[in-house]
Amino acid sequence: MATAVDVHEHVRAMNDLFCDALKRGAPEEMADLYTSDGQVMPPGGDFVRGHEAIEDFWHGALDKGLRDLKLHSIELEVFSDTAVEVGRYELFGPGGKRADEGKYLVVWKEIHGMWKLHRDIWSSNGA
């Protein structure tokens, strides 16, 4: 069983992979970081469920101009094979212009020794 320190390091690495995939415009790689029954819960939208729908969601975000993402993890609580992360995000569009900022909550699940996003929800600080 992984220690809390191991989980923190793994989640940090997974967040880095997620941000890197977004920056490279690779929604399929982003979707691969979710569990098979993962859910994205974006502001102003309905549930996005499953690998294909999550990939389509991130493809659409990239098509709308999303170019970069910075995640600032504030806390991570570990409960056996589940972890809950709370943090702040910054989204950037073309030219590095900040498009949005807010907070997020991710429920992580350990699947075959790998931590994956299971529930992903965020809320903008903007109007």
The reported pLDDT for the residue numbered 77 is: 97
- Tell me which residue has tokens 């170019």: 67
Angstrom distance (rounded) from CA 26 to CA 34: 14
φ, ψ (nearest 5 deg) of residue 56: -60, -40
Q: Which amino acid is residue 89, in one-letter code?
A: Y
The most distant pair of C-alpha atoms in the chain lies apart, rounded to whole Å, by: 43
CA distance readout (Å), 65 to 25, 58, 92, 96: 10, 11, 8, 11
The domain spanning residue 61 has which CATH number?
Answer: 3.10.450.50
Q: Can you read off the two tokens belonging to residue 81?
A: 């094979």
pLDDT by residue for the chain (127 residues), tens only, comes to 567 779 999 999 999 999 999 999 999 999 999 999 999 999 999 999 999 999 999 999 999 999 999 999 999 999 999 999 999 999 999 999 999 999 999 999 999 999 999 999 999 998 7
- Per DSSP, the three-state class of 13 is helix
**Boundaries of domain holding 107:** 4-124
The reported pLDDT for the residue numbered 17 is: 98
The reported pLDDT for the residue numbered 3 is: 73
The reported pLDDT for the residue numbered 1 is: 55
The reported pLDDT for the residue numbered 5 is: 74
Domain count across the chain: 1
